């Protein structure tokens, strides 16, 4: 790469500028998070007078105490954790089944079945017809509506199928000759070799479910089933966004202080920030496998 | 004779694969129920939909719904806004993503590179509700951090979220902030594939840094750039609903109402199922046309297709 030649030379002015610009960019990416934390930990008067920018002023945990004392937040947190766990599990199993089955080149009907899946990338029924189906199968206003209708993502299927295709065939053949069933081969041989890709795709699904906002807006009516994102939206913006009569109950009806709002934002984002560094090393690989395209 | 032998062989194979088919069964059922039945559901775009009669029972009305929609000013407004927001976002984020990739590629310290990348990828994983919450805290005219900084410096306040022009700026900024790091992954992958001996040869021939960039680096990743550009263009008519719905407000409806938010308001909030579906169908058809055209174009200029 370009870098290796320069190694022998001194660091140039261009290099320094490059480092500075990238540091600035990284700071811009991080600053909004700092801002959230600063507001959430600052005192009421400091926030009101507009003195908070980079770090907390009049440090206190009042906002967190308030937000964590609300049962609604805990309810929504529980709902979201449940949806994320169930959804990720279902999505992974379905995606693995689809990719494993359709990764073999001699399966009769493989082309037709793959085509059936890929076609949905380019054409779909759209919001209302899907809404009517979800309602029709009885998922409306249930947590199932938040993960069953979007169980398999075509992009993730392509990525995983590409990965399975590149696994050495000989391993599987040997196991088959020894009398292992396809399910045994999948569980004992294919999956252990595919942990990085499963971690990546699991992360994509989990983040997707954690962040789901629109599906919840569409399918959930009962405020007791609000997901974290939906709750967050109603706490942050009140009814302004949703003219159809958003359910503003409890917390939402009070005028929330900025500190409280930002503490809510922090609480709902922290779980992602916690798992992110653990999984980060995997997902870059996953995106690249996907970009090679099956 | 030969034919029946082949058929027999296929059937034996299928029997051998019975457990595989069983694994595929739930997946196919899922696609039929949640993707293909809704595809049939688009027929309500040609029907006078009645909640009590359902999708199958409602009477056909030909192109009535389409006529109604195409003569609606709001519909064209939504299309205009979708194209406008996508076009400006593309104009800003596309070159910027490539520039940041090139900058990251020049970094010698692997540690610095890794940390910077981790930080830049992070916003991709944050929900739009959170982004909109943070944006409001930063950009609102009263009490927003940025405007307070302006105030402290004696500058006038800026209506980032409540003026249509400024709103477009803020929308693009939030999008770029969220996705720029993530977008670099694919270019960085391509950049690691550039043949190093080319750089060495150029270096020995006395090529400057800029010359190496324009004659080696960029041509080497040209096909990735073209593919990404075509992919982006093929998504021109689509904007996810989250960003404009959450960042938008009543004051900026004139620019923030895009096709997806319009179909949502029409379909869900006002229960005009047929109208909303017709708009969705119109959008899908245009999308397919753009996609096919982009794919043809890519192949015509000697690049890989995107389908």
Q: Quick check: B41 and A133 CB within 8 A?
A: yes
| A90 CB neighbour count, 10 Å cutoff | 19
- Residue A178 CB contacts under 8 Å (≥ 6 apart), including other chains: none
**Domains of chain B by start residue, with CATH:** 2-57 (no CATH), 67-300 (1.10.3720.10)
> How distant is the Cα of A127 from the closest Cα of chain B, in angstroms?
7
Supply angle C-alpha A119, A120, A125, rounded to 5: 125
Compare all CA atoms of chain A with the CA of B212 and give the residue at the minimum distance.
Answer: A2
A94 neighbourhood in chain B, CB within 8 Å: 26-27, 30
List, for residues B80-123, the tens digit of each pLDDT value.
999 999 999 999 999 999 999 999 999 989 899 989 999 999 99
Of residues B30, B108, B118, nearest to A151 (C-beta): B30
* The predicted structure's pLDDT at residue A14: 86
Helix B18-31 and helix B2-16, axial crossing angle in degrees, nearest 10: 80
Helical (H) or strand (E) element with A44: helix A44-48
* Poorest-pLDDT segment among A45-59, A130-144, B89-103, B281-295: A45-59
pLDDT at A2 over 70: no
Name residues 219-248 of chain B within 8 A of A (Cβ).
240-242, 245-246, 248
In angstroms, the CA B71 to CA B112 distance is 56
* The predicted structure's pLDDT at residue B93: 96
**Which residue bears the tokens 């939030």?**
B174
Residue B214 touches chain A, beta carbons under 8 Å = no
**Domains of chain A by start residue, with CATH:** 2-60 (no CATH), 65-292 (1.10.3720.10)
What does DSSP assign to residue B216?
A: I
* The predicted structure's pLDDT at residue A51: 80
pLDDT at A4 over 90: no
Name residues 57-96 of chain B within 8 A of A (Cβ).
none
Q: Quick check: A3 and B106 CB within 8 A?
A: yes
A53 neighbourhood in chain B, CB within 8 Å: 145, 148-149
Of residues A19, A265, A276, nearest to B122 (C-beta): A276
List, for residues A201-210, the tens digit of each pLDDT value.
998 899 999 9
In angstroms, the CA B94 to CA A167 distance is 35
> How distant is the Cα of B38 from the closest Cα of chain A, in angstroms?
5
pLDDT at A251 over 50: no
In angstroms, the CA B19 to CA A184 distance is 11
* The predicted structure's pLDDT at residue A113: 96
* The predicted structure's pLDDT at residue A294: 35
Mean pLDDT of chain A: 84
pLDDT at A132 over 70: yes
Question: What are the strands, taking DSSP E only, across chain A?
Answer: none
Alpha-helix residue ranges (DSSP H) falling in chain B? 2-16, 18-31, 37-41, 54-57, 64-70, 73-106, 110-121, 128-139, 145-152, 164-192, 196-204, 209-212, 218-220, 222-234, 242-247, 253-256, 259-264, 273-300
Structure tokens at A151: 């169980």
* The predicted structure's pLDDT at residue A284: 67
List, for residues B15-58, the tens digit of each pLDDT value.
888 999 999 999 999 999 999 999 999 999 998 888 888 888 88
> How distant is the Cα of B80 from the closest Cα of chain A, in angstroms?
20
Of residues B19, B122, B284, nearest to A123 (C-beta): B284
In angstroms, the CA A148 to CA A94 distance is 11
> How distant is the Cα of B134 from the closest Cα of chain A, in angstroms?
7
List, for residues B198-248, the tens digit of each pLDDT value.
888 888 888 888 888 999 999 999 988 988 998 888 889 989 899 999 999
In angstroms, the CA A115 to CA A109 distance is 10
């Amino acid at each position: 790469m370009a870098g290796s030649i320069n190694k022998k030379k001194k660091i140039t002015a261009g290099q320094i500028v490059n480092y500075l610009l990238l540091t600035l960019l990284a700071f811009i990416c991080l600053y909004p998070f700092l801002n959230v934390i600063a507001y959430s930990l600052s005192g009421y008067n400091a926030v009101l007078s507009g003195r908070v920018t980079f770090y907390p002023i009049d440090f206190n945990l009042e906002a967190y105490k308030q937000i964590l004392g609300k049962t609604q937040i805990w309810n929504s947190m529980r709902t979201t954790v449940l949806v994320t766990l169930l959804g990720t599990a279902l999505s992974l199993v379905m995606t693995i089944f689809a990719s494993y089955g359709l990764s073999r080149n001699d399966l009769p009907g493989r082309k037709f079945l793959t085509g059936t899946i890929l076609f949905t990338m380019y054409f779909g029924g759209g919001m209302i017809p899907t809404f009517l189906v979800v309602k029709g199968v009885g998922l409306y206003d249930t947590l199932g509506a938040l993960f069953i209708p979007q169980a398999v993502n075509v992009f993730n299927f392509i990525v995983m199928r590409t990965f399975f295709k590149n696994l050495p065939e000989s391993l599987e053949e040997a196991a088959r000759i020894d009398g292992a069933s396809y399910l045994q081969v999948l569980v004992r041989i294919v999956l252990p070799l595919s942990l990085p890709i499963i971690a990546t795709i699991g992360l994509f699904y989990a983040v997707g479910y954690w962040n789901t906002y629109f599906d919840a807006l569409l399918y959930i009516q009962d405020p007791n089933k609000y997901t974290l994102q939906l709750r967050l939206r109603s706490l942050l913006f009140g009814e302004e966004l949703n003219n159809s009569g958003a359910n503003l109950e409890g917390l939402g009806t009070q005028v929330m202080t900025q500190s409280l709002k930002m503490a809510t934002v922090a609480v709902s984002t922290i779980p992602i920030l916690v798992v992110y560094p653990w999984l980060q090393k995997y997902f870059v690989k996953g995106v690249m496998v996907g970009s090679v395209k099956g | 004779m030969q034919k029946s032998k082949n058929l027999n062989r296929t059937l034996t194979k299928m029997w051998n694969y019975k457990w595989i088919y069983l694994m595929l069964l739930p997946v196919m059922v899922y696609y039929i129920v949640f993707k293909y039945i809704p595809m049939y559901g688009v027929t309500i775009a040609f029907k006078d939909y009645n909640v009590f009669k359902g999708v199958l029972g409602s009477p056909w009305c030909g192109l009535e719904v389409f006529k109604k929609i195409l003569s609606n000013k709001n519909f064209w407004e939504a299309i205009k806004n979708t194209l406008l927001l996508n076009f400006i976002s593309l104009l800003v984020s596309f070159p910027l993503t490539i520039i940041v990739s090139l900058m990251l590629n020049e970094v010698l310290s692997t540690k610095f590179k890794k940390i910077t990348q981790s930080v830049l990828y992070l916003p991709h994983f944050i929900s739009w509700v959170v982004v909109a919450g943070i944006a409001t805290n930063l950009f609102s005219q009263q009490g927003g951090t940025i405007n307070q900084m302006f105030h402290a410096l004696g500058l006038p306040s800026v209506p980032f979220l409540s003026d249509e022009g400024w709103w477009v700026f803020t929308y693009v900024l939030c999008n770029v902030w969220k996705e720029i790091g993530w977008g670099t992954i694919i270019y960085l992958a391509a950049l690691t594939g550039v043949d190093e001996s080319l750089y060495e040869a150029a270096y020995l021939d006395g090529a400057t840094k800029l010359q190496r960039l324009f004659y080696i680096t960029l041509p080497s990743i040209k096909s990735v750039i073209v593919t990404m550009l075509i992919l982006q263009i093929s998504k021109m008519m689509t904007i996810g609903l989250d960003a404009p719905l959450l960042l938008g407000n009543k004051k900026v409806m004139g620019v923030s109402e895009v096709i997806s938010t319009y179909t949502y308001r029409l379909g869900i909030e006002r229960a005009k199922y047929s109208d909303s579906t017709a708009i969705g169908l119109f959008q899908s058809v245009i999308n397919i046309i753009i996609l096919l055209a982009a794919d043809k174009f890519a192949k015509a200029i000697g690049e890989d297709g995107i389908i």
